[in-house]
Amino acid sequence: MTRPPKRPGKPKTQLDPSGTAQIPVVTLPNAKMSSPRSAQAPAHTHQNFDRAARGVMARLGGGVSTHAFTEAWSDWAQHMARSPGRQLELVEHAQQNAMKLMGMMTSPNAAPPFEPKAYDHRFNHPDWQKQPFQMWQQGFLAVQDWWDHATEPMRGLRLEDAERTRFLARQMLDLAAPSNFPLLNPEILEATRKAGGRNLSDGMAHFARDMTKTLTRQRDPAPKGFEIGKDLACTPGQVVFRNDLFELIQYAPQTKQVQAKPILIVPAWIMKYYILDLSPHNSMVRYLVAQGFTVFMISWCNPTAKQAELSLEDYRKRGVMAALDAVCAIVPDTPVHAVGYCLGGTILAITAATMARDGDARLGSVTLMAAQVDFVEAGELLMFLDESQIAFLEDLMWEQGYLDRPQMARAFAAIRSEDLIYTRNVQRYFLGRDDLPSDIGVWNADTTRMPARMHSEYLRSLFLENRLTAGRFAVEGRVIALKDIAVPVFVVGTETDHIAPWRSVYKTQLFTDCDLSFVLTKGGHNGGILSEPGHKGRHYRISHRPKGALYLGPDAWLDQHSPKPGSWWPEWAAWLTAKGGEVVPAPAIGAAEKGYAPISGAPGSYVFQP
């Protein structure tokens, strides 16, 4: 076991912008990871035993602390107990739902009174509209409707507790849904009759295989036609720089003349980079190269327990800044278009603000795709984050040195459990159907880890304490401000993103004063970004805010901007071109004389790290 973290000294303070008040700041330090709040107690060797015990509990519980949910139920129940009017309202709502069900029974041709949510596909089979299945379905939806009403915010009830109570109620209901039981699900009964029960035996085989993979942590090889480096992540290029944290890929030009300013893409470290270089038809990298851009991509390592002490500052300084140094050496004397996706966009925003503060003018523009800088409205993921939960995760990571992607994936899946968990389980285990292979499915299964210290730092300083937009986030001992960013910024939000909700992404406009373009595109966190030209059913909204313009709220913005059909990629490419300056001959791959000789072909070696 490692020694417990040392008790930190008095936190640094810095004058606020008015120069009068002293405010605490968070600095990206080089000391070992510690939990600022939990470290307030005197250090004792017995704390190692406590952390180890909690780490085992966290592993068994999938990294989810029950404290916050227990507290939420208690808060909700106490407020409900002293609200007789609310109780009467819920009784009346239950009576109304019961009357609707009775009306459906007495009028068979009447439309069903309750509809599944748009993302709920459990009741798509047409036989759910026949009796007795329709009554079971409608009864379930009636109870779901009642709980949605019962967990609405009440006077005095903390909003986060109301949301957590609703989440827990939904989890219990989803577990008991009639679609999960073979004798109540008409689709399973029909499949069993047609296949003579073969679907159930195939489903049991799928279950046994999945359970074995979960227990042994084995991974299936990529299906035929989805091989990394051949079918996925196959845009030609060379690795031109490598350290212990990342590889830098420079993609081969496809045009003789290119835009003078190169593009550096910073993906999130919680994913393999090739979500942006997926199949040839939907590869953002391939599209940019074909438009005449010189493109560089960071490919993060998949950290192990030996890299548990990698910090957020390491990812900024030895990651983004080291990549920028390489790009500026290979393509000298011109600013760089920096692009960040998801948390890669957050670290890019931190980097850009730090560079602006320090007078570093090597950026020509900044693009933030589905990236948040303010985390007050960070969506349903905040249900999992409070002091107790983060401490629980820290104990889990203290034991194993990192947070494994399956532990994160379970939290993401639980947010849409009716579709991502139960619908899939019915398909595999009761209908006996294999998952259809897809490029994004293969990428999604190619899991990554996060080093313990870095994960703890960004959860606390960004998600929990929201220090970046509160003027309390410091780099190298000095506070940074997003409003210092002076280069043009292009921001992309996606309509149905539950990881980075678009209204939260939109708030980048609230904390910056620069020339800014904002795009809202159809789709979710990944699908909205992968919106290549020709993708059917796509649309987007776009606006331009000049430097110094007044702020417009997201709902007012939505009302004032109509959707345009098609992909947002050409709009972005045109924006980059307008900011790109002159056209020049394509540069060589790497710069051996400056220490950036090509090392190996794309996609490099880090993308294959298990």
Taking the CB of residue 195, how many other CB atoms lie within 10 A of it? 14
Task: Give alpha helix (H) positions in 227-316.
Answer: 284-290, 312-314
Write the DSSP symbol of residue 550: P
Tokens of 213: 């993979």
Check if the beta carbon of residue 491 is closer than 8 Å to that of residue 56: no
Alpha-carbon distance of 431 to 148, in angstroms, equals 30
**563-602: b or e for each residue (b if 16 or more CB lie within 10 Å)?**
eeeebbbebbbebbeebbeeeeeebebbbeeeebebbeeb
Strands lying side by side in the sheet with 600-601: 564-565, 539-545, 516-521, 489-494, 363-369, 336-341, 263-266, 295-300, 246-251, 237-242, 600-601
Q: DSSP letter string over 8-30?
A: P-SPPEEE-TTSS-EEE-EE--S
- Give the residue numbers annotated as catalytic, written as ranges: 342
Q: DSSP letter string over 563-576?
A: -EES-SHHHHHHHH
Check if the beta carbon of residue 502 is closer than 8 Å to that of residue 520: yes
Burial group, residue 412, by CB count within 10 angstroms (0-12, 13-18, 19+):
middle
Spatial CA neighbour of 160 closest among 89, 76, 90 = 76
**Which amino acid is located at 225 in the chain?**
G
Alpha-carbon distance of 610 to 604, in angstroms, equals 14
Check if the beta carbon of residue 304 is closer than 8 Å to that of residue 448: no
Write the DSSP symbol of residue 176: T
Check if the beta carbon of residue 374 is closer than 8 Å to that of residue 382: no
